[in-house]
Amino acid sequence: MTHAEFVERYRSGQLDVRLDPARVGELVKTRDFPGRFHAAHRFWKWLWLLSIPVALACLVWGKWWIALIVLGVGFLLPRALNPSAYYAFILQRALENEEFFEAATAANALLISARS
């Protein structure tokens, strides 16, 4: 399938597009990804990393249950956000850029099937 066919068929609702989570991380780290996507990726990564010292501070100066909530949210945040954020990033980039579309499909990170 060519990039033009992909864009046309996706916008008309004829395609189901999924991501292979195991291969998505490698695709996001490539230089072909725009800076705004890298910035968002770094933001969420730093947010969950910072939850650890915030949880420790809450444990020392606050209540233990607040520390537990902060730590729990900090560890669950990347698992909840990464798949949806990656999906939006990769799909948008694949629709915009033909070279990225080819790379994503060649790496089997972008899985395309006809909608039934």
Total number of residues shown for the chain = 116
d(CA 76, CA 12): 35
User: For the segment 70-112, what is each residue's pLDDT rounded down to a tens digit?
Assistant: 888 888 877 766 666 667 778 888 898 898 888 888 888 888 8
pTM here? 0.61
CA 6 from centroid of its chain's CA atoms: 21
Alpha-carbon torsion, ordered 87, 113, 98, 110, to 10 deg: 40
16's tokens:
């189901």
- Paired with 17 in beta bridges are 112
